[in-house]
Every structure is written in structure tokens, then in C-alpha cells.
Amino acid sequence: MALVRTLLMTAMAMVLTTGATAWAGAPTEQLRGRVDRVLRVLEDPQEIFDFRELSQRSLGPHWKARTPAERDEFVQLFADLLERSYIGKIELYSGGERIQYTGEILDGDQLATVRTKIITKQGTEIPVDYRMHRVEDRWMVYDVAIEGVSLVANYRAQFNKIIQRSSFKGLLAQLVAKKQEATAEAPVKRASQR
């Protein structure tokens, strides 16, 4: 699981740090446009990721039982976890890999999957799919799948296990502890704070 998560975060980082050519639908163009604005995304990752939708899908059936305040707290903690991991991977990204946009699949006018491939320095190709939905006039990412492994499904399984063993409050406590641990070990400076 840790390897998949590391690959996933690296893939997300690379999409925002490399320019590529090849495909041209509306979801792909908007994703590519975000790639060209890396610094803006570093300052505000919500530019491309719909953290509320990501959170709802990752919490799965447990979302409905939550109060609005619990949902807001979960979204904030989960977004913080993803942002820390994500920004950390971008800062560690050394370059040399390439990304190719290989296609997109539209599901009506509200859902799309943008298919990409990361090509490593060694020539290995890693497929990365960005699942997006339209929010007003923008396309936003609500899931990323690397080599067929979904970020949402991965977290949903983990969160479900924690809730079943403990409780939703136990899950929140673990997310708070991870945030505090990360802050104590190596605080992530946002681009806007540099």
C-alpha cells in the first residue's frame, strides 16, 4: 500500500510539473492548463483537486451518517493529509521522467477520465488515469488511479477498516495525529510562504 501511495503521489506531482503533448479534449486541455500553472497549484492545490468529492468518495458509506460539521472536519483533515503528501512529492521530484497524455473518455458531459502515461528514465511506462467531474465550468479531479489502483478505493478500504475497528472519531483522531506528527517532523512550507 505504501508503494502504491508513493507512486500515486509521484504521478500526481509529475502531471503538475511536466508539459506534454498529444491529446486535446476539454478535460485534457483543462488538466494540461493546470500543468502550466504549477506554482499556482502549489499555492492552492484546490485549483485542480476536488477535495470534498475525494473525501466523500473515500469515506464511502460512512459519509451519509456524518453531520455537516463532521464532514467539514474530515474534508479539512483529509485534504491536509493529501496536500502534505502531494506537495512533498513535488518538492522531491527530480525530473527526467516524461508524461504523455494518451486519451480521454467522456461519460456524458459531467464525467471524464484523462489517461496519461509516465515514462521513467529507464523507459518503464506507468499508466495514470485522472477521473474528473465538471464543477460549473471547470473539470476537477476526484480520483487518480495508477496502474489500475484507485486513490479513493485505497483510502476507502483503510478508512473503513479503522472505523470498523474503532469509530469515526477514532479515524479523525488518527488523521489529527498524522497532521501533528508531520508538522513536528518537517513542516511543509507552502509556496506562498517562501
pLDDT score, position 45: 55
pLDDT exceeds 80 at position 41: no
CA distances from 50 to 75, 82, 93, 96, 105 (A): 10, 11, 23, 28, 19
pTM given for the model: 0.71
Question: The C-alpha cell of 73 is what?
Answer: 472536519
Whether residue 144 contacts residue 4, with contact meaning beta carbons closer than 8 Å, is answered with no
Question: The C-alpha cell of 135 is what?
Answer: 464543477
> Model confidence at 10, in pLDDT bands (50, 70, 90)?
low
Please give the Cα distance from 43 to 40 (Å, whole number): 5
CATH C-level class of 2-182 = alpha beta
Q: Which of 100-104, 107-111, 122-126 has the lowest mean pLDDT?
A: 122-126
Secondary structure class of 136 (helix, strand, coil): coil
Q: Where are the beta strands (DSSP E) in 11-135?
A: 98-107, 111-119, 125-135
Using one digit for the tens of pLDDT, what is the confidence trace for 56-100?
A: 999 999 999 999 999 999 999 999 888 877 655 544 444 667 788
Domain boundaries, the chain: 2-182
Whether residue 96 contacts residue 121, with contact meaning beta carbons closer than 8 Å, is answered with yes
Average pLDDT over residues 186-190: 52
